[in-house]
Chains A and B, each alone.
Chain A
Amino acid sequence: MSEYIIKNGHVFDPVQGIKGDKKDIAVKDGKIVDKVGSSAKTIDAKGKTVMAGALDIHAHVAGPKVNAGRWYRPEDKHFDSHKVPGITRIEGGKSIPTVFKTGYAYARMGFTFVMEAAMPPMYARHVHEEIHDTPIIDEAALPVFGNNWFILEYLKNQEIENTAAYIAWILRQTKGYGVKCVNPGGTEAWAWGLNCLTIHDPVPYFDITPAEIITGLIAANEYLGLPHSMHLHQNDLGNPGNYTVTLDSLKLAEGIKPKNNFGREQVLHSTHLQFHSYGGDSFANIDSKAKEVMDYVNKQKNLTIDTGQVTLDETTTMTADGPFEHHLHALNHLKWFNVDVELETGAGVVPYIYSPNVSVNAIQWAIGLELALFAKDPERCFITTDHPNAGPFTRYPRVYSWLMSKKIRDERLNTFKNADKIIGATYLAEIDREISLYELAQMTRSGPARALGLGKDYGGLAVGMNADIAIYNIDPDNFPTTGADIEKAFANVAYLFKDGKICVEEGKIVDMGNKHTFWVDAKVNENKQVMHDIKEKFLKYYSLSENNYPVPESYAPHQHILTVDAVQ
């Protein structure tokens, strides 16, 4: 493999505490090394910014509900059907891009890892087929557990060991990475035409509460010592006044200590927090509770969050929170897709247009920015758009420009149709903070890498770490001042190294890299009870046989397995 030396770049690496100093980075055999031989290729990074490859901790980029969005929204990829010269395929789609565009667009922005945030275990094969077809970037997927019948039954009886054994079995069957929990209990309640809007609403039939599901899944996650923490989409998403439900949910993690060998420090990751930080009691008087929520998050060291930034675009919402999607469809009358996944989960899809002329949308936009700007520890607050729910991931460069420049975000804020109302309902106008390049690296590199348990090898540029490196045409001493210039620089890396190989040059894809699928193999004690329950449920309820359930190795031929030993 080739050797490279990246010379004279301004390096931003929170792992080593390097804040823009000029430093050479040497690359050999896919790793960052101390030094390379004289034959190494030199990359001149003078006047450029050098960071590790970015990690997206939460995006919906592969699997059946993403594909449902693709097939029922042909209008999303209209005018994108032309093949451009080069090694890339046609790049179709805006909010629900093809797998090819997903890989290329992330790579062009300097990303090297993306977490698919919700995998229905029964459709894991489909998720892995799409992940396998997504070029360049490494990916993993989180199976959903918050409405799974096994989990609901075990946790009702407080059987943490059985819960953990079942999770370990599912991770191995689905090649999954960790524990995702979407609207705990609410999606199962939706199968009965109901929802769980607080953490104490009982789930029909199972007679368990969301609070018991959340605490039980955190306990099982720590019992196993998985690389990532429990990853939670709280109850009552998107509704005015829901910040109290959010605080109630986050408080469930109080006093719990992380137990793992991966350097992870949180026990609960609260995702797309923007959708959960609303005050008021109707859409007429909705206001921001970002400060109240972040005051709590800042105090609690065992929490991490991601923002779910609204980008003010036409997009396609999709979530395993089935009842929420029905609610949204009733609001905007646009086409609604709904599915029930047998014993496991459900999902809904509805297109949505976030308009700068709609006050609620503008307030949502402000709340997302406030969460990041109120974060005292950028290592625990990550920037996402909950792609595609709050906006397409391709808008990250624009989100960065709003966070990094008060001037640019105030221009946006002050030109909303109902600017006075929005300024009155949010904190944003009073916030002067501008996120620095170093803090951006914390929020998009070292932070998410550590939260995913990948901090040893990813998210930094220390010797021995994986050579995933993004070089931007940004001179920190002469930082671009217009939104368009900032966006252009972050949307098109000068170079992207993936596993030590140059995959992007000046925004052009030059190599498809060696993408890997990450999954976690957790070893637990033999558990006859759980194996019996699995056999019984497949015979009694599932529409497929247990033998057709696992994801064969051929679906993820380039796997990167993280092993956990939870045998006691």
Chain B
Amino acid sequence: METITLTVKKVPELYLECEGLNPDTLAGKSVDQIAKIPMYQGKEISTLGEYFTVAGTSGATAADTKIVVNGDCSKMKYIGSKMTAGEMVVNSDCDMYTGSWMSGGKLLVKGNVHSFCGLAIKGGEFTIEGNAGNYLAAAYRGDWRGMSGGVLRVKGNAGSDVASFMTGGTLIIEGSVDIHLGTHMEGGKIILKGNANRRVGGQLVKGEIYVFGTINVMMPGYKKTGEVDLEVDGTKAKFDEYIGDLGERHPKKKGETVYGKLFMKK
């Protein structure tokens, strides 16, 4: 695997839209070609090279390409978005849409990310060492297709509306979240190590939510069905099992109604 190192040399005045900053775009390009990748700031087109110094070499394919980004990326959007393979390490905070629509590869952000990150992620591994904002792993505004695959891990906290319209994959939040976790969820698994505020699993059709901490106010559409022993993300414990959201439509499989499940660690 070849490594390309990008170092921020100018912080954008507005916000830089780094739709081209992923292994797929950089693969097979020389340092000069990479510096000429177009990037928008507001309505103006500029280039990657205007904001970053480029060093190293890229691999022939995305899978052979590792990108290391140094410097302040807190005003850069779309970093690692739509990546399908390869590796990226960002040693900074990032703005919105980081790792959104990614379908493969590994993305590591060693800082915080803003809202709308990991939107509609389909595959790969996305790890955030700091905190995430609102709408993490959710669907894009208006869309009904949220996270559908891959593994997304946040070591800190996340905001509101996390994992709206999730349909697959695994989301692990090691800290706490605010309101509206897993709204409209229709598949996949959310593991919350900390606490949730209110409205967990509202309008949830299918899927599983594991909560290690507390839920401030429980949704009325959940019914306790028993207790189970589980191993969740390496922790063995006893959980209370709930089904829900009973106010929502639920599909049938082999004559049985399929409910979403909520597990609360005892």
Residues of A within 8 A of B (CB): 72-76, 78-79, 82-83, 85, 333-335
Do residues A74 and B144 form an inter-chain contact, with CB atoms below 8 A? no
B22 to chain A, nearest CB (A): 14
In the bound complex, CA of A85 to CA of B144 (Å): 33
In the bound complex, CA of A79 to CA of B139 (Å): 14
- Residues in B neighbouring A79, C-beta threshold 8 A: 19
Do residues A83 and B43 form an inter-chain contact, with CB atoms below 8 A? yes
- Residues in A neighbouring B40, C-beta threshold 8 A: 82
Do residues B249 and A74 form an inter-chain contact, with CB atoms below 8 A? no
Q: CB-nearest residue of chain B relative to A71? A: B142
B233 within 8 A of A: no
Do residues A74 and B43 form an inter-chain contact, with CB atoms below 8 A? no
Q: CB-nearest residue of chain A relative to B43? A: A83
B52 within 8 A of A: no
Do residues A75 and B249 form an inter-chain contact, with CB atoms below 8 A? no
B253 within 8 A of A: no
A450 to chain B, nearest CB (A): 41
Q: Give the contacting residue for B144; candidates A78, A82, A335; CB below 8 A.
A: A335
- Residues in A neighbouring B141, C-beta threshold 8 A: 74-75
Q: Give the contacting residue for B142; candidates A75, A83, A85; CB below 8 A.
A: A75
Interface of A is mostly: loop
Q: CB-nearest residue of chain A relative to B38? A: A82
A76 to chain B, nearest CB (A): 8
Q: Give the contacting residue for B140; candidates A72, A78, A82, A333; CB below 8 A.
A: A78
Q: CB-nearest residue of chain A relative to B139? A: A75
Q: CB-nearest residue of chain B relative to A335? A: B144
In the bound complex, CA of A76 to CA of B141 (Å): 10
Q: Give the contacting residue for B143; candidates A75, A82, A85, A333; CB below 8 A.
A: A75
In the bound complex, CA of A85 to CA of B19 (Å): 18
Name 7 interchain pairs, CB-CB below 8 A, sorted by A.
A74-B140, A75-B143, A76-B142, A78-B143, A82-B40, A82-B45, A85-B45
- Residues in A neighbouring B140, C-beta threshold 8 A: 74-75, 78
A60 to chain B, nearest CB (A): 19
Q: What per-residue 1/0 map shows which CB atoms of B167-195 lie under 8 Å from chain A?
A: 00000000000000000000000000000
A332 to chain B, nearest CB (A): 10
- Residues in A neighbouring B143, C-beta threshold 8 A: 75, 78
- Residues in B neighbouring A82, C-beta threshold 8 A: 40, 45
In the bound complex, CA of A78 to CA of B45 (Å): 18
Q: CB-nearest residue of chain A relative to B140? A: A75
Q: CB-nearest residue of chain B relative to A76? A: B142
In the bound complex, CA of A561 to CA of B140 (Å): 44
Do residues B144 and A334 form an inter-chain contact, with CB atoms below 8 A? yes
In the bound complex, CA of A72 to CA of B144 (Å): 12
B231 to chain A, nearest CB (A): 34
B56 to chain A, nearest CB (A): 28
In the bound complex, CA of A78 to CA of B40 (Å): 15
Which of B45, B142, B144, B249 has the largest number of chain A CB atoms within 10 A?
B142
- Residues in B neighbouring A72, C-beta threshold 8 A: 142
Q: What per-residue 1/0 map shows which CB atoms of B21-45 lie under 8 Å from chain A?
A: 0000000000000000000100101
